[in-house]
Amino acid sequence: MNPPLSPLFQGRKQIRERFRFIYCINDFTSTDRIQHQLLTNITHGVIIARMYRIDYYTEPSGRQPVAEWLDYLNINASAHMHDKMVRLQQNGLMLLNTKMMRPIKGYGSDFYEVKFSRYRIALYHEKSSNTFVLLHGFKKTRRRESREIKTAYSRLREYQSRG
């Protein structure tokens, strides 16, 4: 490759390339041009945008169980859970490196849970649209855990069957 020209002799294309450095730190929704795309273009070591969507699972009847559950939670747990969801939106599957998120085993791939204390949100990562679908929120107890995960899994099956 030729060494880069001095900016004075560059065409518009090269200048445009350089201005791809401009990126948005904290708003993932209002940038229409790059909305709903996973961009991992790295120019000069800077990742421009990494975006995920967070959606509530909506039952055919229109109910949104996780939205209701987050309203019903106590304020501390609710704030923490909202925060984890925001981190998930910003960092995506990188969160698997921390202890905030882990895959649920035994139910296929792309099925995860995010935890705070004893509260859990089971979610599904839809790769095609890069969306995390919040399926079920619950408080983990030893007796009820498998039942709760089955609830989440049945919602996941329903969601996937929509096509």
Q: How far is the CB of 162 from another protein (least distance, A)?
A: 15
Q: How far is the CB of 39 from another protein (least distance, A)?
A: 15
Nearer to another protein, 3 or 62 (CB): 62
Q: How far is the CB of 145 from another protein (least distance, A)?
A: 18
Nearer to another protein, 111 or 116 (CB): 116
Q: How large is the C-alpha radius of gyration of the chain?
A: 20
Mark 47-75 as b/e (b = at least 16 C-beta within 10 Å): eebbbbeebbbeeeeeeebbeebbeebee
Residues with Cβ within 8 Å of 156's Cβ and at least 6 positions away in sequence, in order, are 107, 111, 124, 133, 135
Q: How far is the CB of 124 from another protein (least distance, A)?
A: 14
Q: At what angle do helices 65-72 and 75-91 cross, to 10 degrees?
A: 130
Nearer to another protein, 23 or 159 (CB): 23
The contact set with another protein (CB under 8 A) reads 7-8, 12, 15-16, 18-19, 21-31, 33, 46, 54-56, 58, 62, 64, 67, 70, 75-76, 78-80, 82-87, 89-91, 94-95, 97-100, 115-117, 134
Q: How far is the CB of 96 from another protein (least distance, A)?
A: 10
Nearer to another protein, 41 or 150 (CB): 41
Instruction: From residue 41, give the alpha-carbon distance in Å to each of 21, 44, 46, 90, 104.
Output: 10, 10, 8, 16, 30
Nearer to another protein, 1 or 22 (CB): 22
Asked if residues 137 and 119 have their Cβ atoms less than 8 Å apart, the reply is yes
